[in-house]
Amino acid sequence: MKHRHNTARNLKGLFCTLFLGLISAAFMTAAAQVTGTVTDTDGEPLTGATIIVQGTKLAAAADIDGNFSLDAKPGQVMKVTYVGKLPADVKVQSGKTHYNIVLDSDDKMLDEVVVVGYGTMEKKRVTSAITSISADDMMSGLGGATIATALQGKISGLTTTGSASPNASNGYQLRGVASVNAG
């Protein structure tokens, strides 16, 4: 009888030890707040850079000063991305709470990105008409020329209103009244 009592006590002790071990392991790997700053190679903050903890739904965006904050566990990887920059993978280290992340320019990608009025998209995904104008395409050497007169006839569907007076304001409408629905 004494042997059965000792076995039950040993099992309880073993169970308690395992339970406490699991709890302490859970607390040791608990997510902690991680902060950081995302900049380019010149030290300029990258406002709106995206920081995602891989394998989770945790994400943050850098503020106007390039700062971010999110919860991450040691060993997890933060993927930092920004349009026109090479992405960076940063492994969260135990005991480290602040990261200074510098993203290098992706010169090849800059040739592939088109800026649209409401965001950006890859050039190959654009299904509408695109017009590109460089400074070389603009009229130069004309006294009193405004941006309205420089753009006139260069972009299909662009209607400019106003005068060439430097004190007058000009109006611009792209494919509005000239569109099929006149919207």
User: What is the arithmetic mean of pLDDT over 64-87?
Assistant: 91
pLDDT of residue 70: 92
pLDDT of residue 114: 61
Identity of residue 161:
T
Percentage of the chain with pLDDT > 70?
49
Identity of residue 74:
P
Q: For residues 162 and 168, what is the distance between their CA atoms, to the nearest angstrom? A: 7
Q: For residues 19 and 21, what is the distance between their CA atoms, to the nearest angstrom? A: 5
Tokens of 101: 């992340």
Tokens of 15: 């169970």
Contact in structure between 40 and 103 (CB atoms under 8 Å) = yes
pLDDT of residue 115: 60
State pLDDT tens for residues 126-177.
Answer: 666 667 777 666 666 555 566 666 766 677 777 777 766 666 777 777 766 5
pLDDT of residue 173: 73
Tokens of 137: 């395409």
pLDDT of residue 80: 94
Residue 69 reports pLDDT greater than 80: yes
Average pLDDT, the chain: 74
State pLDDT tens for residues 2-31.
Answer: 555 556 555 565 455 555 555 545 444 567
pLDDT of residue 83: 82
